[in-house]
Structure 1
């Protein structure tokens, strides 16, 4: 970045971050002692947070190395670097190159400055991967959103593997960043309708509920629906009869009728099955998967915004966040993968294919009680 203007127009700009001074110090060291380009390890112009700094570094890499003795007395190499970089960084001036040389405290520390730049670039790149994961999980225009989201999660995981090979681990590497609240679950009418239809069809076909161990109460957006799912699975596990009345009775014992729902309304919900439980269960699980992906992205982004985290802390914290997504992903693959003889579903009365349910039946009228 060229030297800041003295005009008042820059008064509102945020103060430079530490990496800005690391970039200045590295460039100053290289301008002063060009032979240190061979000592700084792998570094690319794109690693710089400042475009002008990156173009100046690119010019240094492309310009023929100067003779060490001649460089001490002649500005020829500096002029060559400046002329090479200026078309891509118009604000760059000769005075700024001299400023960089004056800023650099110790040219022999150039490799350390380069390592700082790589670390900050890793932080920014990780944040970009997390933001892409969040955007993919929230993009309702994607035809196969869950698949695209998991592909983006795989890309993020590969990036973490690459980072782990570039930064040495160290003890005490768990991040202490306070994570933000998880993104709100989708409680729109479509999402809640899918959960209601799952509860109703599972009540009508309880035998299939025992095959849906890949679905857990935490996958539901509405706590009441999660509790009703627990009622159904508990009855099925105990081998008891399952129908709207027995589920109503179980719900009463679990305290759900006190405030959450009236008995007549619950009977209406339980008496309107449509399609198959597996179809609606997959819908519910898919929304839970997408929400977990968004939560993972939010948590990783929070880690990257905490400057106290080292690269290895970012790697460790991000992998932990991805592990929670992987747990949901495993259940998703179990639900959507091909059925094996062990998990083959029992025959039942014809219902809608899993590719999609038939049109919903109208809810049964609720008869008023006296």
Structure 2
């Protein structure tokens, strides 16, 4: 049997056997169940409790009407539910008093599904933006995903904070859309030609454009050479760029060829470096968003990851997109605002219910003052400072 299916059946069976267990499952919602049949039945059980069904308050054995009324109420919203299946759920519950533990399993499965669904939406938005040359859709979905991760962390009872996984999930590198790949490559070549022809144009892009923003690694390395010459205050022309590429070993390892450098250097360097750089940034944002989405989806599909770790690893996977977004805002003259302080929420589950959701064992007695260890220091996550390409 699928463990998640067994957990959903056990939760419903425990409530059918003991309606009082609903009071210990207030933090669990019908939408946390995977099967629509189970969603409808759990919603029906909660409605019967709200309506004051006699089975909830009686001290006598649970009447059969508790089961039949729940099935009838749920049948208004879903097909295929019978009293026979309700009794199957009852037999699937080993111990009704373990309902919070079963509910925690259901919530854990819901967290993995929710993260997967929103990662897919982010990836779809990123691909659509790449096709249209836009960024708004991907950035909006990234904000939605970040908000969902924060909400899930509160429901699970953990503190959301970016944490790098021990081993990054394996994902396929994201390439530009075939429809846009040619245009992106042309923009990169035109920008490099402009920077070689008019070195002062480096001042327009060097503050926010990075080698990693180029879709073609060879173009990114050539931009790194230009940035190094600019940083050292040395003249930029076709000879100095070729020499810098040779010093960095780019010709020896095949990253660049003399023909590529000549073709770019001999191109007509007409155009706005700032405008071309913004087009490259748009492509970089969509690629980064797609890459982050794939990493988060791979994490969510790893069933061995506990929800707290999944949420923190997913927040870490959004970090590269946040960094690119900050530079994009700088390029458009809108510095990235400081992250707002987390505000206390009033709609989240109370602390007591969070502990019930976690279904943790009873903690040991508090140690004496002399036996308590000192506070552990927590390393703070720091973003690497921006550097000019070099």
TM-score range, shorter chain: 0.7 to 0.9
Task: Give how far 1:59 is off.
Answer: 1.5
Matched, 1:196 2:160: no
CA distance in 2, matches of 1:322, 1:45: 29
- Residue 134 of structure 2 corresponds to 145
Partner in structure 2 of residue 210 of structure 1: 203
Taking structure 1 as the reference length, the TM-score comes to 0.79
Q: Which entry has the higher C-alpha Rg, 1 or 2?
A: 1
3-state SS of 1:90 partner: coil
Summarize deviations over 1:252-284 as a string: whole Å, max 9, x none: 444444545554653332231131111111122
Matched, 1:34 2:19: yes
Is contact 2:164–2:316 with CA below 8 Å preserved after alignment? no
Query: Take 1:73 and 1:120, find their aligned partners in 2: how far apart are those partners?
Result: 30
Larger relative contact order, structure 1 or 2 (CA cutoff 8 Å, min sep 6) = 2
Partner of residue 33 from structure 2, selected from 28, 36, 48 = 48
| Aligned partner of residue 271 in structure 2, secondary structure | coil
Q: 1:214-253 deviations in whole A, cap 9, x for unaligned? A: 1121221222212211221122222222223332343344
- For residues 99 and 265 of structure 1, what CA distance do their matches in structure 2 show? 70
Range with greater deviation from structure 2 (147-156 or 262-271) = 262-271
The aligned counterpart of 1:355 is none
Cα distance, 1:181 vs structure 2: 2.6
Q: Report the more deviating stretch, 319-328 or 234-243.
A: 234-243
Where does the alignment leave 5 or more consecutive residues of structure 1 unmatched?
1-15, 340-370
1:66 is aligned to 54
Question: For the residues of structure 2 that align with 1:243 and 1:175, how far apart are their CA atoms?
Answer: 43
Which one of the candidate residues 245, 254, 273 is aligned to 2:239? 245
Match of 2:216 in 1: 222
Distance 2:260 2:62 in 1: 90
What RMSD, in angstroms, separates the aligned Cα atoms of the two structures? 2.5
Structure 1 109/174 Cα, relative in aligned 2: closer, same or farther at 3 Å? farther
Deviation track 1:64-100 (CA, whole Å, cap 9, x = no partner) reads 4233558626312211111111233321121111111
User: 2: distance between equivalents of 1:177 and 1:230?
Assistant: 29
Alpha-carbon distance in structure 2 between the residues aligned to 1:204 and 1:41: 67
Tell which deviates more after alignment, 126-135 or 222-231. Answer: 222-231
Deviation per residue, 1:313-349 (Å, 9 max, x gap):
111101111112211211111112259xxxxxxxxxx
Asked if residue 299 in structure 1 is aligned to residue 295 in structure 2, the reply is yes
Distance 1:114 1:190 in 2: 51
Relative to structure 1, the CA distance from residue 268 to residue 111 in structure 2 (aligned partners, 3 Å threshold; closer, same or farther) is: closer
Distance 1:122 1:265 in 2: 49
What residue number does 1:289 align with? Answer: 285
Please give the alpha-carbon distance, in whole angstroms, between the structure 2 residues aligned to 1:141 and 1:196.
18
Q: 1:77-116 residue pairs with structure 2 within 5 A?
A: 77-116=66-105
Partner of 1:210: helix, strand, or coil?
helix
The normalised TM-score by structure 2 is: 0.76
Map of 1:277 onto structure 2: 273
CA distance in 2, matches of 1:276, 1:204: 12
2:230 is matched with 236
Counterpart in 2 of 1:12?
none
* Structure 1 CA distance for aligned equivalents of residues 58 and 264 of structure 2: 87
List, as ranges, runs of 4+ consecutive aligned residues in structure 1 with deviation greater than 6 Å. Answer: none
Is 1:325 the counterpart of 2:325? The answer is no
Shift of 1:43: 2.1
Shifted more, 44-53 versus 180-189: the winner is: 180-189
Task: Judge which range, 219-228 or 306-315, deviates more.
Answer: 219-228
Equivalent residues, number: 322
